[in-house]
Structure 1
Amino acid sequence: MDLLLRLLSLFFRGTALMLGVVGTGFALVCLGGVFSDRLDAFSHLSPLWLAMATGAVVTGWIFARGDERKAIVGLGSLGLLACAILMGPELMAAAGSKRLAARPGDLKIIQFNVWHENETPELALRWLLDQDADVVVIVEGGGMAASVTQGLKAYYPFHVTCDGKRYCGTMIFSRKRMLARNGFYPEGHELAGAWATLADPKGAFTVAGIHYVWPIPAGPQQQQGKRLLAAMDRFDRSTTILTGDFNSTPWSFTLKRQDKALGLERRTRALPSWPSGRFSRLANAPAPFLPIDHVYAGKAWKTVSVTRGPALGSDHRPIVVHLRRD
């Protein structure tokens, strides 16, 4: 029995050390994202590094003794500090968010990567129609999700795709009249995105939808960000709304730079939207843990509420945002 207890103690102490080395090591690497896009790619997994550093502190405190405990707990604490630098501002902003009472006339927008391999497109379409949103921005609207976009076209009188009026995976649907619209591809921006200027009693405003590539390998996503800034430059920042699957988390330096450069306020705060459901052929996701779908809006808009929708056969959850312009 004594030998068994020793082996168990050794196992847990070794596990604590491993968690501390890996979690803290990667958390520190992420801080290099200030100057390196390649290092910044690791920052998207900061929740994992945070969990590992926490595990090192807890397990090391329970099972280690003396100098060994100090070393393991200290190592894990360093990882927690690095994660606090990365994630702290976003988590504090989320904690400080206040929900307003809904009013008639509030603008309801849904951002949803419906996924081209959607397993339950009928369920997704029914939910979207039941929401009766003013504007729906769809990403990956082809493949097995084609019936969803066809249903939305029948329901909403106005729509535009990232290739203008032709099929393209990023689409905007609106019940408000589109005064002007186009895709970013026909305009030469090389972006899977679209925009539409919508009529409104309080003045026209522009909604844009975008789909970024994955952050790995580093470089292409950052180039997309630069092209998006150029494409959005013509619109009135105070009233513009931008939504999309940015494939980028708010604790990455890439998204932090974009937040600053856009001149819009990101209204989604630490709201995980991926992964959901069967996000690969081999695995099911227990719950989303990465916030990669975002909604931005200009200063003319107040945030009424921001919520996450249910699992609808996609590897993403939909984002539902209510905005108000007084």
Structure 2
Amino acid sequence: MGLVRLALSFLLGPPVFLLAALCAGAAAAAQQGRDSLRWDVLAHFAPLWLAGALACALVALIAFRGLAKLLVLGMAATGLVFSAMLIGPELTRPAGPSAAPDAPGQLKIVQFNVWHDSPDPERNLDWLMREDPDITVLEETTPRLREAIKASGRWRVTCPNCEVMILSKSEPVAEGLGKVHGPITRATFRDARGEFTVIGVHNAWPTDADQPGQEARLAQAIARFPRERTIVTGDFNSAPWSFQRRRWDARFGLIRRERALFTWPATPYKRLRWLGSVPFLPIDHVYAGDDWATVSITRGPKLASDHYPVVAILAPVAPR
């Protein structure tokens, strides 16, 4: 057995060490995201750096001996520490008040990027009908899906020809954001406690120069409404361990209710067939003001989209 481990250390040691070094280097470089949007892109992939470093450590413990084992374990430990520094704040932050499953006044919201390349948009719509939410925010809608929604006659539709649509059981009392343009839609509703506003959004990738401007636009839109009753949800294309995401979370003045909910990818791509195996990016988010308590936040099933839907159930905070 000793000879086998020695041989494995000689043959596999260098490539495993290089993988551990890659994960450690990426996680360490991502720390520069505090000051640089360019380096912050690496922070979005923190789970990959963590998983890679952990895998290297396990291989070293099981198969290596001697210097190879020590070198790989040292580099893997470095990757684990820097990755944990990125992911840890998401796992320990407050996620807002909670409510019991039987809390009164519950509001069921579905957020779903239905994917402009969906091969079967009707399947997405069928699931949505079965889920029967009070409010739905859809991104990447297509003319085919919009026509199907219109034909169903099931919902009141805010911005029926927009890429971001809001569907609701009740009629909005107001909608639109005036001169604010882009993939963002707003509708205001009234319940027993008064008015509340829902904003749906679809941001660009973090590699896109437009994303910071889109986040700033959203912050401005949020500021126009009473924050305590405002709900914001959509595809932000931004993972919660990025420094940019943390900064905008603070700027919005709302509470992000899901915690490390992995929603992408949900399907393989033509040239990257492996991508759809396991979702590794939590980029679909739900925010709500502190007058809302969270009953549950769950990931929906795999459908005909490259995103999983998010199902959020909120309830008014109980009076004290």
Fold agreement, TM-score > 0.5: yes
Name which of 310, 314, 319 aligns with 2:310: 319
Distance 2:80 2:12 in 1: 20
The residue that corresponds to 1:36 in the other structure is 36
**2:212 counterpart SS class:** helix
Distance 1:110 1:134 in 2: 8
CA shift digits 1:161-206 (9 cap, x unpaired) = 2xxx6x1110001112211101x4xx33333101011011211100
The residue that corresponds to 1:179 in the other structure is 173
Counterpart code for 2:206: P
Distance 2:311 2:246 in 1: 22
- Identity fraction in percent: 40
**Unpaired segments of 5 or more residues in structure 2?**
none
**1:228 counterpart SS class:** helix
- In the superposition, relative to structure 1, how do residues 97 and 120 fare at CA in structure 2: closer, same or farther (>3 Å)? farther
1:227 Cα deviation (Å)? 1.4
Residues 104 and 315, structure 2, Cα contact 8 Å, conserved in 1: no
Counterpart code for 1:86: L
- In the superposition, relative to structure 1, how do residues 274 and 250 fare at CA in structure 2: closer, same or farther (>3 Å)? same
Structure possessing the higher relative contact order (Cα contacts under 8 Å, 6 or more residues apart): 2
The residue that corresponds to 1:288 in the other structure is 279
1:117 Cα deviation (Å)? 1.3
The residue that corresponds to 1:169 in the other structure is 163
The residue that corresponds to 1:257 in the other structure is 247
CA shift digits 1:140-161 (9 cap, x unpaired) = 0115544554356x211x2212
CA shift digits 1:267-309 (9 cap, x unpaired) = 1110001100234455261132210000000000000000111
1:34 Cα deviation (Å)? 0.2
1:62 Cα deviation (Å)? 3.0
5 Å matches for 1:1-326? Answer: 8-93=8-93, 100-142=100-142, 145-151=145-151, 154-156=153-155, 158-161=156-159, 167-182=161-176, 184=177, 187-217=178-208, 219-280=209-270, 282-283=272-273, 285-325=276-316, 326=318
* TM-score with structure 1 setting the length: 0.89
1:99 Cα deviation (Å)? 7.1
Distance 1:63 1:14 in 2: 13
Residues 114 and 314, structure 1, Cα contact 8 Å, conserved in 2: yes
Q: How many residues align?
A: 316
Residues 137 and 166, structure 2, Cα contact 8 Å, conserved in 1: yes
Residues 209 and 244, structure 1, Cα contact 8 Å, conserved in 2: yes
**1:169 counterpart SS class:** coil
CA shift digits 1:304-326 (9 cap, x unpaired) = 00011111100001100000003
Residues 16 and 57, structure 1, Cα contact 8 Å, conserved in 2: no
1:19 Cα deviation (Å)? 1.7
Residues 121 and 312, structure 1, Cα contact 8 Å, conserved in 2: no
1:76 Cα deviation (Å)? 0.9
Distance 1:308 1:67 in 2: 44
- In the superposition, relative to structure 1, how do residues 22 and 151 fare at CA in structure 2: closer, same or farther (>3 Å)? farther
